[in-house]
């Protein structure tokens, strides 16, 4: 009788920080029993990606992690380095995350003769021509993957627009490891504050549309003096956003704190979690806010609407409607009973629908099915 092979999966990402996709990889790997699958990690080593938190945590909790040097923003030499690692470590499947890793990973998988799974985490509506070109190439690369597994129903629709159809296209509902959030939520609060705290956690990039957060806060701050804005995260837009904030009357109550190891302590201290994104997958930071029971106000866009139901688990305004969103901020800050109800509903909803263990089990089944198909060829 032939023993079932334990699959060895290589997670591959071109990472510049420790955001949603990176935390998602950790959630997937940590919630897959080690006897059922072995996970390794490859990340490109670039000027802006040294000493990555993802690599540290992966090595501690999940398995081997290798940093692949990249001599420029799109170094094709990475492909052969990946192929060598695949052969040396008996990798069965490569699993890619992000437009750049999709391109490089799909080519490396084809050269190495193994299946490749692409998980789109979201698309960037960037204005930069080079970035738009890379994104387009990444979307084309998906068509050559064995399986494409988007994180949300809207991303499924987006992927279909690039010509990827069933059975190559598979939907596995997103999941997140919320145990870390629950530990902080149930502990004694560590952070003190003197004002009601409005907060954001995430990348500071164009599609996050953080300028609207600054504008809404500034208009609300003009009517009251009991609020502050705390923004955690980094990204290409941070410098311009900080410069923009210096011209606002509420600048003294706006705090750009960058990436923080204690982000969950800050999240717990928020009286309101806000987002004004124009494009999303299903944001991990929003899942964490739900799990923390922090009241949420955001624009009503695909992805966010998978977590926030208006007047049930938070409040949603039409995209770009800053005046209405400002009213929702005020209500959630001032109506304690309503805000607490939304927070409790959000905890229940995210625990019921977005457990990481369920997601990991479905990915494991997908990986095993792929290997069976490869064996039967």
Q: What is the pLDDT of residue 123?
A: 74
- pLDDT bracket for residue 125 (50, 70, 90): low
State the CB neighbour count (10 A cutoff) for residue 2: 5
Mean pLDDT of 31-60: 89
Contact 333, 312 (CB under 8 A): no
Mean pLDDT of 139-143: 87
Q: Summarize pLDDT for 57-96 with one digit per residue, the tens.
A: 999 999 999 999 988 877 889 999 999 999 999 999 999 9
Helix/strand number for the chain, H first, E second? 14, 12
Report the alpha-carbon distance of residue 125 to residue 99 in Å, rounded. 13
Phi, psi dihedrals of residue 93, rounded to the nearest 5°: -145, 140
Q: What is the pLDDT of residue 124?
A: 67
Please give the full DSSP string across 277-343, using - where no structure is assigned.
-SS-SS-HHHHHHHHHT--EEEE--TTGGGT--BTTTBEEE-TT-HHHHHHHHHHHHH-HHHHHHHH
The residue among 192, 194, 285, 159 whose CA lies nearest residue 231 is 285
Q: What is the pLDDT of residue 201?
A: 96
* C-alpha distances in Å from residue 163, one per residue of 133, 148, 201: 17, 11, 33
pLDDT above 90 coverage of the chain, percent: 73
Q: Summarize pLDDT for 344-364 with one digit per residue, the tens.
A: 999 999 988 888 889 999 999
Please give the full DSSP string across 24-85, using - where no structure is assigned.
HHHHHHHTS-TTT-EEEEEEEE-TT-SS-HHHHHHHHHT--EEEEE-SSTT-THHHHHHHHH
Quick one: tokens of 20? 């949603």
Is the bond into 167 cis (omega within 30 degrees of 0)?
Answer: yes
Could you give the 3-state DSSP secondary structure of residue 14?
A: coil
Q: Please tell me the total number of residues recorded for the chain in this structure.
A: 377
Mean pLDDT of 275-289: 92
Q: What is the pLDDT of residue 177?
A: 81
Could you give the 3-state DSSP secondary structure of residue 161?
A: helix
Q: What is the pLDDT of residue 330?
A: 98
330 vs 174, more confident: 330
Quick one: tokens of 226? 């009991």
Contact 296, 313 (CB under 8 A): yes
* C-alpha distances in Å from residue 211, one per residue of 15, 109, 237: 24, 40, 10
Q: What domains can you pick out in the chain, each with its CATH number? A: 8-175+355-376 (3.40.50.2000), 179-353 (3.40.50.2000)
* C-alpha distances in Å from residue 237, one per residue of 73, 215, 249, 252: 18, 15, 21, 20
Q: Summarize pLDDT for 205-238 with one digit per residue, the tens.
A: 999 999 999 999 999 999 999 999 999 999 999 9
Q: What is the pLDDT of residue 106?
A: 96
DSSP-assigned letter for residue 191: -
Contact 308, 298 (CB under 8 A): yes
**Choice among 26-30, 185-189, 371-375 with the minimum mean pLDDT:** 371-375
% helix / strand / coil in the chain, to the nearest 5? 45, 15, 40
Quick one: tokens of 131? 């970035």
């Amino acid at each position: 009788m032939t023993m079932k092979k334990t699959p060895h999966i290589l997670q591959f990402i071109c990472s510049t920080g420790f955001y949603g996709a990176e935390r998602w990889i950790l959630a997937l790997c940590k919630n897959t029993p080690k006897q059922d699958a072995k996970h390794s990690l490859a990340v490109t080593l670039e000027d802006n990606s040294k000493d990555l938190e993802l690599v540290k945590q992966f090595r501690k909790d999940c398995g081997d992690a290798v940093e692949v040097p990249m001599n420029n923003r799109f170094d094709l030499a990475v492909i052969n380095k990946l192929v060598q690692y695949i052969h040396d470590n008996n990798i069965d499947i490569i699993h890619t995350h992000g437009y750049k890793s999709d391109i490089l990973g799909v080519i490396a998988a084809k050269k190495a003769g193994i299946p490749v799974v692409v998980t789109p985490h979201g698309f960037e509506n960037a204005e930069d021509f080079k970035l738009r070109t890379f994104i387009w190439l990444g979307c084309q690369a998906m068509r050559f993957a064995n399986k494409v597994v988007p994180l949300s129903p809207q991303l499924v629709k987006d992927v279909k627009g690039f010509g990827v159809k069933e059975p190559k296209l598979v939907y596995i509902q997103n999941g997140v490891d919320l145990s870390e959030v629950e530990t902080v939520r149930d502990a004694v609060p560590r952070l003190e504050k003197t004002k009601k705290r409005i907060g954001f956690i995430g990348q500071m990039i164009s599609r996050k549309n953080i300028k609207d957060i600054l504008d809404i806060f500034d208009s609300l701050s003009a009517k009251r003096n009991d609020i502050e804005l705390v923004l955690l995260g980094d990204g290409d837009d941070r410098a311009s956003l900080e410069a923009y904030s210096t011209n606002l009357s509420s600048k003294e109550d706006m705090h750009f704190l960058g990436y923080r190891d204690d982000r969950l302590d800050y999240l717990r201290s928020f009286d309101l979690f806000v987002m004004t994104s124009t494009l999303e997958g299903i944001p991990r930071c929003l899942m964490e806010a739900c799990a923390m029971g922090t009241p949420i106000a955001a624009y009503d866009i695909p992805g966010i609407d998978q977590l926030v139901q208006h007047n049930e688990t938070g409040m949603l305004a039409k995209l770009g409607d800053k005046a209405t969103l400002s009213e929702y901020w005020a209500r959630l800050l001032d109506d304690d009973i309503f805000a607490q109800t939304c927070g409790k509903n959000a905890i229940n909803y995210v625990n019921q629908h977005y457990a990481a263990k369920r997601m990991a089990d479905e990915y494991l089944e997908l990986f095993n099915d792929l290997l069976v198909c490869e064996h039967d060829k």
